[in-house]
Amino acid sequence: MVISPLRRKTLRDLRRLWAQVIAIALVLAAGVATLILGTGAYASLDETRARYYETYRFADVFADMTRAPGALIADIRAIDGVLAAEARIVKLGLLDMPGMVEPGTMLFVSLPDGGDGGLNRLHLRQGRLPDPQSLREVVVSEGFAAAHRLRPGTAFAVVMNGQRRDLLVTGIALSPEFIYALGPGEMMPDPRRFGIAWLPGASLAAAYDLEGAFSNVVLKLVPGASADRVIETLDRLTAPYGGVGATPRADQTSHAFLDAELKQLSAMVRVLPPIFLLVAAMLVNMTLSRLITLEREQIGLLKAVGYSARAVAQHYVEFVLAIAALGIAIGFVAGAWLGAGMAQLYAKFFSFPFLVFMRDPQTYAIATIITTAAAVGGALLAVRRVLALPPAVAMSPPAPTDYRSRLAGVWRRLSLPQTAVMTARHLLRWPLRTLSGILGVAMSVAILVASLWSFGSIDHMIDVTFFRGERQDAMVVFAGPEPARALYSARQLPGVLAAEPFRAVSARLSHRNLSRKLSIMGKPATPRLSRVLSPDLAPMAMPEAGLILSEALADALAVRPGDRVTVDFLEGNRRSLSLPVSGVSLGYVGLGAAMEISALNRAMGEGALISGVNLMLDDGAEADFYAAATTTPKTGFVAVMSLTLQRFKETLAENITIMITVYVGLASIIAVGVVYNFARIALSEQGRELASLRVLGFTRAEVSGILFSELAAVVLLAQPLGWLIGYGIALGMVTAFSSDLYRVPFVIGREVYATASLAVIAAALASALAIRGRINGLDLIEVLKTRE
């Protein structure tokens, strides 16, 4: 095989500049990897979810009610657009696990009479389904079984409808309905304190006095059917039986949380890869510009002996394509590996029974095209100027660099050392290259700022939610509304220092053509335990009439204080009335609406009823309180705020550690790539000058200091720009991540900028140390005899 002279020169250049080639290739690889990582993980999770939903017939509509007769299911199935409907019994119970002091909750779901048929089918991991005639056999969720080391044949105790019962585990399963198994009153899944149990309908009906009735229905719709029209009809049918309004799949808790995570993953794909590809294009341009400048005479000679400008341009493009090919290959491997790992983490966190990891050729093709275009684009900018020169001009040496500047007087007035003047003149002589270096380093700072901001935001969110707003130690929610005297019974529980009632009522709030279904919280006039905070974090008193809406809900309904909203209560007498918006509150979790508890009961046309109590506990009597609260017949479930906060922190700590590790690695790649290439170019340009200084008696440290001062100037000038860009990216991420489920506060402290800058400076120092070895190894005689 005969290799053409230009291609041989390409191979020689790649070998000679191998360190710079690898640095550029790694930046390109990071862009490719993040694109494949994000796109691959997103596509994998989306496809896994779609197949899981389809295979196990995940329902499209969900509705709860108090007690509906079994005959009603026929009318529901007759609704236009309904493909299948399944009546179920869904009830909450309390756990009575040995060695578990804190309260836990179990959600009981009835199985269809035909076993594992119907909708929301189970994926059995172990064991078998319960015997339809058994009153104690159950299948439990996999996370709960793992947390308590349960297996088929193991028994455990629960409290169902106020009565203690022993249940026998026959199987362990997963369900598409509980991919994200969030317990009542919780912010993060806690499989130790919340589990799902599936058991025969007859067993559950006997425990909750629902023979011949049901309390929940799930629907599968005909493709293309209008969910809104079906829900409207379903609500009308279930309203007489305590229906609280049906929920479409989009608002079902598990599906909504998974959707929010996929939204965040999609946002990452839109932000990170363009940054890496932009930096890579700048690096290609910087490196190739210097290479072409050094080979100016060779280019002129090639054109003089007959090579066309196109052939010479093709030679340099091939050089860049080789770098791009290396970066793409590394990015493919890294992206596929990291994407599979991330998808596995998501699959584990969200309880998928299987994982369909997508290696879509289209994704790889797009990554290849975009990366190649970025690299070649940077190359063409460098090539076009030199190729325009006639051969005779190109073969003549370029004019010596003119460092004369109008700023000479400034340097003298500032009394700068000569080495500082040399540094400043060299940076200002090539402003575009200097700005490219500054922008490249700034991008690495920006990536870190755009990830590290979450620490301060989460700390602020925890402080506002758990220490300023929800200050109670525990929340006891009754199985149903109770008379106000239940508050006094709660105060008699052991360890209770203070108690505060609340009323939660399901309602639909509407304004013009916008509406949201949620629970309106009735609170005392001046709540002390569960407080509503204004945007400036001041506690808000409940108005005598009207609603206080959270900022998220006010934005969703496009209302402001003074506007009126239509409230359709979905419980009790199901009244519909117009109420004024009295204020807007701060809230980061869910959509919130609050009003004074007596005003809420009056609006519903009911007496003094409460749904539960918020409690402050004596630290030394918590165990006694838990034991008493879980055995009280009226108790539906107990939420412990300290345990909720602990689980919240643990889950976020694990996720953020992984995220920060990835981002620090990516930012380091950019910083090292930019600084190393900048230093190598500066060294090649100033090799003669640096060697001359060595001959004149400068020490190695002094000579290195001249070059390092340029790098230091670039790195330090990049910091404010990186902070600004990172601030903008972080602000965009906050906007992209916000949803009806939660809002992330935007808080960036000085420590974020300091940490990001220190990490990038450390990466730059490592790159500078690699260059120092080359400075120390300069051949003084050889350098003085040649241009380079």
Model pLDDT for residues 670-680, shown as the tens digit of each residue:
777 777 777 77
753's enclosing H/E stretch is helix 750-776
* Residue 436 CA neighbour count, 13 Å, CB half: 22
Q: What is the pLDDT of residues 529-558, one digit of tens each?
A: 999 999 989 999 999 889 999 998 999 899
In a domain, 565, yes or no: yes
CA distance 126 to 144: 13
Q: What is the pLDDT of residue 685?
A: 64
Q: What is the pLDDT of residue 392?
A: 61
Could you tell me what percent of the chain has a pLDDT over 90?
26
The region of weakest confidence among 308-317, 560-569, 742-751 is 308-317
In single-letter form, the type of residue at position 597 comes to: I
Task: Please tell me whether residues 511 and 607 are part of one structural domain.
Answer: yes
Q: What is the pLDDT of residue 654?
A: 65
Query: Does residue 214 contact residue 73 with C-beta atoms inside 8 Å?
Result: yes
Is 757 exposed, middle or buried (CB count within 10 Å of its CB: 0-12, 13-18, 19+)? buried
Q: What is the pLDDT of residue 624?
A: 86
Q: What is the pLDDT of residue 532?
A: 92
Q: Is the pTM of this model over 0.85?
A: no
When the pLDDT of each residue in the chain is averaged and rounded to a whole number, the result is 82
CATH number at residue 530: 2.40.70
Query: Does residue 742 contact residue 588 with C-beta atoms inside 8 Å?
Result: yes
Is 73's pLDDT higher than 60?
Answer: yes
Residue 400: CB partners within 8 Å, gap ≥ 6? none
Task: Please tell me whether residues 95 and 16 are part of one structural domain.
Answer: no
Other beta carbons within 10 Å of 357: 17
In a domain, 694, yes or no: yes
CA–CA–CA angle 315, 319, 324 (5° rounding) = 140
Q: What is the pLDDT of residue 635?
A: 78
Is 786's pLDDT higher than 60?
Answer: no
In angstroms, what is the C-alpha Rg of the chain?
34
CA distance 451 to 658: 11
Domain boundary among 209, 241, 259: 209
| Structure-token pair, residue 751 | 């420590």
The region of weakest confidence among 214-223, 341-350, 451-460 is 341-350
Nearest residue to 400 via CA among 689, 681, 698:
689
Is 413's pLDDT higher than 60?
Answer: no
Domain boundary among 352, 372, 397: 397
Strands 564-569 and 609-617: what pairing?
A: unpaired
CA distance 746 to 732: 10
Q: Which domain holds residue 191?
A: 90-209
Higher pLDDT, 752 or 665: 752
Is 180's pLDDT higher than 80?
Answer: yes
Task: Please tell me whether residues 787 and 659 are part of one structural domain.
Answer: yes
Task: Please tell me whether residues 677 and 768 are part of one structural domain.
Answer: yes
Q: What is the pLDDT of residue 688?
A: 65
Q: What is the pLDDT of residue 723?
A: 93
Q: What is the pLDDT of residue 509?
A: 93
| Torsion angle (degrees, nearest 10) of CA 301, 305, 310, 314 | -70
In a domain, 509, yes or no: yes
In a domain, 483, yes or no: no
Task: Please tell me whether residues 348 and 258 are part of one structural domain.
Answer: yes
In a domain, 215, yes or no: no
Write phi, then psi, for 190 (nearest 5 degrees): -135, 90
The 8-class DSSP code of residue 224 comes to: T
CA–CA–CA angle 187, 190, 192 (5° rounding) = 155
Q: What is the pLDDT of residue 788?
A: 43
The region of weakest confidence among 38-42, 47-51, 97-101, 576-580 is 38-42
Query: Does residue 388 contact residue 296 with C-beta atoms inside 8 Å?
Result: no
How remote is the C-alpha of 587 from its chain's centroid? 19
Task: Please tell me whether residues 24 and 97 are part of one structural domain.
Answer: no
CA distance 674 to 688: 23
Is 698's pLDDT higher than 80?
Answer: no
Task: Please tell me whether residues 425 and 387 are part of one structural domain.
Answer: no
Please report, for residues 13, 14, 287, 327, the alpha-carbon distance to residue 319 in angstroms, rounded to integers and kept in the order given.
Answer: 8, 7, 11, 13
The region of weakest confidence among 165-174, 209-218, 374-383 is 374-383
| Structure-token pair, residue 371 | 């990366």
Query: Does residue 628 contact residue 480 with C-beta atoms inside 8 Å?
Result: no
Candidate ranges 104-108, 160-164, 438-442; pick with highest mean pLDDT: 104-108
Domain count along the chain: 4
| Mean pLDDT, residues 251-280 | 78
How remote is the C-alpha of 21 from its chain's centroid? 33
Q: Which residue has the tokens 């007859």?
A: 202
Q: What is the pLDDT of residues 478-518, one digit of tens each?
A: 888 889 888 888 888 898 999 999 999 999 999 988 999 88
Q: 600 pLDDT band (50/70/90 cuts)?
A: very high
Task: Please tell me whether residues 550 and 448 are part of one structural domain.
Answer: no
Q: What is the pLDDT of residue 657?
A: 67
Task: Please tell me whether residues 279 and 151 are part of one structural domain.
Answer: no
CA–CA–CA angle 658, 659, 660 (5° rounding) = 95
Is 370's pLDDT higher than 90?
Answer: no
| Structure-token pair, residue 339 | 């994407």
Q: Facing residues of 115 across strands?
A: none
Other beta carbons within 10 Å of 61: 24
Task: Please tell me whether residues 653 and 740 are part of one structural domain.
Answer: yes
Task: Please tell me whether residues 675 and 762 are part of one structural domain.
Answer: yes
Higher pLDDT, 414 or 140: 140
Q: 311 pLDDT band (50/70/90 cuts)?
A: confident
In a domain, 634, yes or no: no
Task: Please tell me whether residues 380 and 455 are part of one structural domain.
Answer: no
| Structure-token pair, residue 573 | 């007498």
Is 398's pLDDT higher than 80?
Answer: no
Strands 105-111 and 90-96: what pairing?
A: antiparallel
Residue 463: CB partners within 8 Å, gap ≥ 6? none
| Mean pLDDT, residues 20-49 | 81
Burial code of 388-410, b = ≥16 C-beta within 10 A, e = fewer?
Answer: ebebeebbeeeeeeeeeeeeeee
Domain boundary among 397, 426, 451: 397
Is 692's pLDDT higher than 80?
Answer: no
DSSP track, 389-445 = S-HHHHHSPPPPP----TTHHHHHHHT--HHHHHHHHHHHHSHHHHHHHHHHHHHHH
| Structure-token pair, residue 660 | 């920060």
* Residue 149 CA neighbour count, 13 Å, CB half: 2
In a domain, 79, yes or no: no
In a domain, 523, yes or no: yes
